[in-house]
Structure 1
Amino acid sequence: MSAQTAIAVRDIARDFESGQQTIRVLHGIDLEVKAGELTYLVGESGSGKTTLISIMCGILWPTEGEVEVFGTDIYNLSDRELVEFRLQNIGFIFQQYNLIPAIDAASNAAVPLIAQGMDRTEARERARAMMDKLNILDQADKLPSQLSGGQQQRVAIARALVHEPRLVVCDEPTAALDAKSGRKVMDLLREVGVAEDRSVIIVTHDNRIFDLADRILVLEDGRITHDGTEMPDEGQNG
């Protein structure tokens, strides 16, 4: 049986206004991402990858085109329905972690569950169980300021996965890490985040982890110029 389509992007374009000008940053992009895949989105700064990932996640509206996430046309949803869909189906791992400084690690990891309306005690227990999988349960009661960068990163991963989203999106998850720590993070994402009913998409410039991808998409000037299992030779530094 063929893998389920996680994301289907059809003829996506996006314009931005700059003074008197209209600038098109995405040009008619078509692609499908399968469940069970670890997909990288690679490109130089300004290539459109952040815009594309934002549209794929329901954060930024396209100027033209359609996006389906696990069969749901997300831009036909109302604003409230779209927020609810993201809460139920999408997990985010931000480059800067975005942990809440005033609450402990377990409470940070529990945020998506609390946002869904789960009782706080139950949400914390679920968060602690995910932190245990990530080998940071002993840090559950510490504030973010008491954690190392690597520990904060794992809390951010726990937060992204705790509500068992079908789509996990990571923005440069290894950018601030040394090579060894970066590989560990990617191994964790593959082990915990990639499943036959889930898809993980990573925006990255880090050529140290290119070999771990199932699929690499390269963007240049708002167009996909490469789609394969490896980086093209001329793009190894992109």
Structure 2
Amino acid sequence: MSDTAIRTSGVTRDFQAGSQIIRVLHGIDLDVKAGELTFLVGESGSGKTTMISIMCGILWPTDGDVQVFGTDIYDLSDDELVDFRLQNIGFIFQQYNLIPSIDAASNAAVPLVAQGMDRLEARERAVAMLDKLNIADQADKLPNQLSGGQQQRVAIARALVHEPRLVVCDEPTAALDAKSGRRVMDLLREVAVAEDRACIIVTHDNRVFDLADRILVLEDGNIIHDGTEMPDDH
């Protein structure tokens, strides 16, 4: 069996709502294996986005520990955590978060430029990744000149272009038709699933459930199912 990519121990997360404290995650213990495509599913409000945000160092847990490829990420300083994410993690946001003033290729190249790569080389690699997603012909367009599905594919290219060890995706096929969604999932498997890598996907898209190596069902901040298929009652 491949090594553990992510290990969470007793992870909780609380949010303040007025005078109330609301617990969104209830002591999550979880090992995510490298080499696997792991789906995280559940109803809206079940804690999925909170969970993946904690896994990749964007949102601090209220309690508990998170290891990513053996590194206790919340023991790092702020600068160390930023550098760790840059070197090791690709995050596909549900809202895309593209920079509106630069074109698609420059958006996709952002992680490479941040790592210090020459801008021309970074752009060439970004265009090559856009080509894998069938949108290289949109490389020179600004985000507001792209459709929602095209913007999403630029965001996916940005997350994959630096070949991160961990790819975390929040609804990566939501704005895509069936054919484009399948192509994206195939690319995620090709780029992100290897013996030294892992990919976690939050999705409601039952068109791609058959591609998962593992499906976790989250309900009210607890993992209620861990298996290779969706349970019959979901």
Q: TM-score, normalised to structure 2's length?
A: 0.94
Corresponding position of 2:94 = 95
Corresponding position of 1:13 = 12
Aligned 8 A contact 2:41 2:216 in 1: yes
Paired with 2:199 and 2:209, the residues of 1 have a C-alpha distance of 14
Amino acid at match of 2:227: G
Give the length in aligned residue pairs: 234
Q: CA deviation at 1:163?
A: 1.1
Aligned 8 A contact 2:152 2:175 in 1: no
Q: Which runs of 5+ in 1 are unaligned?
A: none
Corresponding position of 2:194 = 195
Q: CA deviation at 1:97?
A: 2.1
Q: CA deviation at 1:197?
A: 1.5
Q: Which runs of 4+ in 1 moved over 6 A?
A: none
Q: Deviations over 1:141-177 (max 9, x none)?
A: 2222333433322222211011111111111111222
Q: Deviations over 1:202-236 (max 9, x none)?
A: 1111122111111100001110000001010001x
Corresponding position of 2:184 = 185
Amino acid at match of 2:2: A
Corresponding position of 2:163 = 164
Corresponding position of 1:79 = 78
Corresponding position of 2:174 = 175
Corresponding position of 2:50 = 51
Paired with 1:86 and 1:194, the residues of 2 have a C-alpha distance of 18
Q: CA deviation at 1:138?
A: 2.8
SS in 2 for 1:234: coil
Amino acid at match of 2:231: P
Aligned 8 A contact 2:167 2:198 in 1: yes
Aligned 8 A contact 2:94 2:172 in 1: yes
Corresponding position of 1:133 = 132
Corresponding position of 2:69 = 70
Paired with 2:14 and 2:93, the residues of 1 have a C-alpha distance of 24
Corresponding position of 1:155 = 154
Q: TM-score, normalised to structure 1's length?
A: 0.92
Corresponding position of 2:33 = 34
More off after superposition, 67-76 vs 7-16: 7-16
Q: Percent identity?
A: 84
Corresponding position of 1:113 = 112
Corresponding position of 1:221 = 220
Paired with 2:212 and 2:145, the residues of 1 have a C-alpha distance of 32
Q: Which runs of 5+ in 2 are unaligned?
A: none
Q: Deviations over 1:63-90 (max 9, x none)?
A: 1110000010000000110011111111
Paired with 2:204 and 2:8, the residues of 1 have a C-alpha distance of 22
SS in 1 for 2:84: helix
Aligned 8 A contact 2:164 2:192 in 1: no
Q: CA deviation at 1:188?
A: 2.1
Q: CA deviation at 1:133?
A: 3.2
User: What is the aligned-residue RMSD (CA, Å)?
Assistant: 1.5
Amino acid at match of 2:139: A
Amino acid at match of 1:19: G
Q: CA deviation at 1:103?
A: 1.2
SS in 2 for 1:173: coil
